[in-house]
A and B are shown apart, each in its own frame.
Chain A
């Protein structure tokens, strides 16, 4: 128990901060209320420091994953936190500052909002530490439940309420599917402990083949979790929810549940392992290329459909948030290629042969560059006819931004090009890794599909880059939000899209180390490893 706690320091810090924020946000003093965000930031910085220095060993199935995953979640969480500035209670706070209203704790949302934000990040981090199906389920729900509320809170309009309800019901359906899958998995293997399940599946695989009930459970779990990563066929909510929520919250939805989802999918897939497979109609164990055929086929189809649907539908959108929503779907499809490729087959293999590392690196890259794209629109202060603040979301809102608001415009241009995967930006290196592992694992058709999809993606990313850069601004220049933090988030994200390229080597190395413990899953022969998995890994680079 104590040993387990040693992995949970980042979550513990976030939880303590959550409790503090809950109280601070209800203070009648405005200055105290405004401390919510800095406290969150401090907690995230501390959590990131703790995460980087986590031991990376222990009883969980994938100990080396924890430092990297938690550090990335905390790091990108910091960017999102900056972006969240001024999302809730803006009109009320203005009114209170103007003296036209007194503070009403029943009406204020600030405390809950920031607390839920931290809860969601905590949940995502807990996914990485999961050693049990129940834990995994609770962690996934802890990630998602707060986001449903945050979507509703994020604006006062009816659209966000609609989005929240839609998100909640579909999320509940997704949860039901993977919970059912977990139940079947338990039925088929007799345990909820992940290591025990992996051992059971490996034994079954080596003798009579994997129990069909367990296999069904595994497939259902993956399909259910694909709601979190917005993969086909569980992607339907994405565009409406992203559009309904305010831009900062959409940016969060594009990263936090997705990261939790990918960590869970990697965990679940690794239960059956990448070493069991069917070659030429003959079941093999240890020598085969990859996943059990049904899972591999399912993931293959999901990946191909996800990237194609996401990219094709993004082309026809006119709302920036909807474009980014569909692009978020497409990026999930790309990352699934890394999941299919799986961990390397040889000892000492590098980044280009390690599908898990490619996924982890891509999550980091996507998290960094995606925030900037959302920040560029979140930092515009658009008023509707009644003078109320509404989200700048139309594609015309970013027209000529490089001339009217150069900082935001260039943020958008850089992040859009990085999302497109144009060298030498960060996104290129993420995509490069996925291409490499796809080829390494022999998935050439999938790599070609991914290449063609990148080309389709050029349609709309080019539009996002060209509109601010090349068009002349129309009418009066858009106002800039009074919340400078949002602009800072965008600038940091754009700077990260360029600057992290210089650190690509260490970051890739960190992701390779994070993926190391997959080689120590029970169905891998432990004697293959050149070093025992229990050796402490080198310190992980800060993102």
Chain B
């Protein structure tokens, strides 16, 4: 695999958006669809060319020096984790475009242009091997999403878009400060010559991994706090999740799909890519705290789902709950948990994305999302109802579908990550400060999830048929059949197939994730003890770097 391919994956959507902006509005749909399909083919080629036998190695690495004095470079490269997320992004691209054909009727060019820009930026986040490239793409996703929500959302869209922007922007500015601190530490606080990269400012992600773990525990803790400020908001973790339900509810369907499918994964990916390797001691130290936040999110958001009337809001809150599982697995800091967490990123993108698509299709027909006004739609829309049940089950974690595998792995990871179990000689136990209790309490989240999802499915799909009276007055009655059209089925089918495949036979994906995940996990456990008890690095001015090389 070449770096050119990754560059193409990033640049094709951007180029497509320029074409959309220049061509007449009537061609916007087809250009956008073509562009995203092209990107999807590119991603497929990348999947084929990727050397899965050494999945932990970054492949397609390319680097162009940008500002050499600062160590800024435009560099890309993917391991299997990043590549799978790139593939998810590319897959959701055409689905989002196709799902918007009938829903978006005004300012069509603007819509598709920004949708494509968003895809390019998200791909850039996953491909980046330079912190500034990562951060630039990470931040730049805000603008397209802000525009998509505030132009094409429902009634309360302005407030939702602004809240989304301000929450995430605030967090990520602090993240920037933390990342620059890390780079500064690498450049000035480490002796020259021990390893490459020190003594000079560099934003190369691999070089910085070596720097992070040489910090004292308190330094790592601050970096962890700074990174959490950005990533926890994006994920979102309890208690900074409040922007998400609003943004999801107000966003247009494709916006919700991208938000749930990929944008939230930017946060979890950031956790996986930066927090774990850069601040190993701090994450080991604070894993119970993070797990506590996750469990709060799982249970609290689950209970909120239970009392929702608005289907879209329900699914939005269920995202908060689900991503709690995802991060719980991540902070278990063992192979099972982290693999499960990464797999959860993919699965959640598929199943929740599909649920948002289904809700969008229903909304286009009935212009309501309230479960008081609709019900028993299986009678009117059997195909829709079938998909609804299928994806709801996938989302809730029915064995045989994808959600189950990852959710189970995350819980198992949390269960096993216990020092007490290690001492007791339990097979499979790994060092950590979580344990059965964490898993047990989080496990109640699955029960709650089953309750709210079943209630939702029961009300919306089954029972006596209830339809709002005005539903046939919508804007273009001719274009939408009562049940799903072929286009809509085509949009949902690939997601359904993937949910089934990943549920029945997740082994290839898990195998692909094994090497990079084990790499990260062993790195964390190797490096974590170093900073604990070690003397904090002294900050002195002015320091000739090699004069005080001893003591580190």
Contact = CB atoms under 8 A, between A and B. Distances in A.
Interface of A: 287-289, 345-346, 350-353, 417, 422-424, 428, 432, 435-436, 439-440, 442, 444, 447-448, 451-452, 454-455, 458-459, 462, 466, 469-470, 504-505, 508-509, 512
A448 B132 CA distance: 19
Nearest to A421: B173
B170 A422 contact: no
Given A435-B176, A451-B174, A455-B173, A509 B184 contact: no
Given A351-B70, A462-B165, A346 B544 contact: yes
B70 A448 contact: no
B18 interface: no
16 contacts: A345-B542, A345-B543, A432-B180, A436-B180, A436-B184, A439-B177, A439-B180, A439-B184, A440-B184, A458-B166, A458-B170, A462-B146, A462-B166, A469-B147, A505-B69, A508-B69
A509 B69 contact: yes
A423 B165 contact: no
A470 B135 CA distance: 25
A447 B177 contact: yes
B546 to A, nearest CB: 12
Interface stretch (B34-42, B49-57, B136-144, B317-325): B136-144
Nearest to A424: B136
Choose among B66, B69, B136, B139 the residue with the greatest number of A CB atoms under 10 Å from its CB: B69
B166 A350 contact: no
Interface string B167-204: 00110011011001101100110000000000001000
A448 B174 contact: yes
What 7 pairs across the A-B complex have the smallest Cβ distances?
A345-B542, A455-B170, A423-B136, A505-B67, A451-B173, A424-B136, A350-B69
B542 A422 contact: no
Contacts of B454: none
B151 interface: yes
A346 B173 CA distance: 28
Given A287-B541, A440-B188, A505-B67, A422 B166 contact: no
A424 B542 CA distance: 33
A509 B187 CA distance: 18
B539 interface: yes
A307 B70 CA distance: 26
Contact of A352 (B70, B169, B170): B70
Given A435-B176, A504-B66, A508-B70, 7 more contacts: A289-B541, A346-B544, A353-B188, A424-B136, A444-B181, A458-B166, A462-B146
Contacts of B220: none
Contact of A350 (B132, B140, B162, B201): B201
Contacts of A470: 147, 150-151
B165 A435 contact: no
A509 B69 CA distance: 8
A504 B67 CA distance: 7
Contacts of B177: 435, 439, 447-448, 451
Choose among A288, A346, A352, A512 the residue with the greatest number of B CB atoms under 10 Å from its CB: A352
A164 to B, nearest CB: 37
B7 to A, nearest CB: 16
A439 B219 CA distance: 13
A444 B219 CA distance: 12
A454 B70 contact: no
Contacts of A287: 541-542
Contacts of A435: 176-177, 180
B551 interface: no
Contacts of A509: 69
Contacts of B481: none
Contacts of A423: 132, 135-136, 139-140
Choose among A288, A428, A444, A458 the residue with the greatest number of B CB atoms under 10 Å from its CB: A458
Interface residues of B, number: 38
Interface of B: 66-70, 72, 132, 135-136, 139-140, 142-143, 146-147, 150-151, 162, 165-166, 169-170, 173-174, 176-177, 180-181, 183-184, 187-188, 201, 539, 541-544
A470 B157 CA distance: 12
B67 A422 contact: no
Given A287-B541, A451-B173, A508-B67, A439 B136 contact: no
A454 B174 CA distance: 10
B117 to A, nearest CB: 13
Contacts of A346: 542-544
A432 B180 CA distance: 8
A462 B146 CA distance: 10
Contacts of A442: 539
Given A423-B135, A509-B69, A458 B169 contact: yes
Choose among B67, B132, B166, B174 the residue with the greatest number of A CB atoms under 10 Å from its CB: B67
A452 B544 CA distance: 33
Contacts of A352: 70, 183-184, 187, 201
Contacts of B187: 352
A458 B72 CA distance: 25
Contacts of B170: 452, 455, 458
B267 to A, nearest CB: 17
Contacts of A447: 177
A353 B183 CA distance: 12
A435 B150 CA distance: 31
B66 A505 contact: yes
Given A455-B169, A470-B147, A470-B151, A439 B541 contact: no
Contacts of B142: 422
B463 to A, nearest CB: 40
A368 to B, nearest CB: 18
Nearest to B162: A462
Choose among B143, B147, B170, B180 the residue with the greatest number of A CB atoms under 10 Å from its CB: B180
Contacts of B181: 439, 444
Nearest to B545: A346
Contacts of A350: 69-70, 201
A380 to B, nearest CB: 22
A99 B401 CA distance: 84
A462 B169 CA distance: 11
Contacts of B544: 346
Nearest to B176: A435
A505 B183 CA distance: 18
A459 B173 contact: no
A447 B183 CA distance: 15
A417 B68 CA distance: 26
A106 B444 CA distance: 86
B253 to A, nearest CB: 19
A422 B188 contact: no
B140 A424 contact: yes
Nearest to A504: B67
B143 A417 contact: yes
B472 to A, nearest CB: 28
B64 to A, nearest CB: 12
Nearest to B151: A470
A436 B180 CA distance: 6
Contacts of B143: 417, 422
Contact of A458 (B70, B165, B201, B542): B165
Contacts of B183: 352, 436
A331 to B, nearest CB: 15
A345 B543 CA distance: 8
B76 to A, nearest CB: 15
Contacts of A439: 177, 180-181, 184
A444 B225 CA distance: 13
A350 B539 CA distance: 19
A452 B70 CA distance: 25
A505 B542 contact: no
Nearest to A349: B188
Contacts of A459: 166
Given A462-B165, A469-B147, A288 B541 contact: yes
Contacts of A448: 174, 177
A351 B69 contact: yes
A402 to B, nearest CB: 9
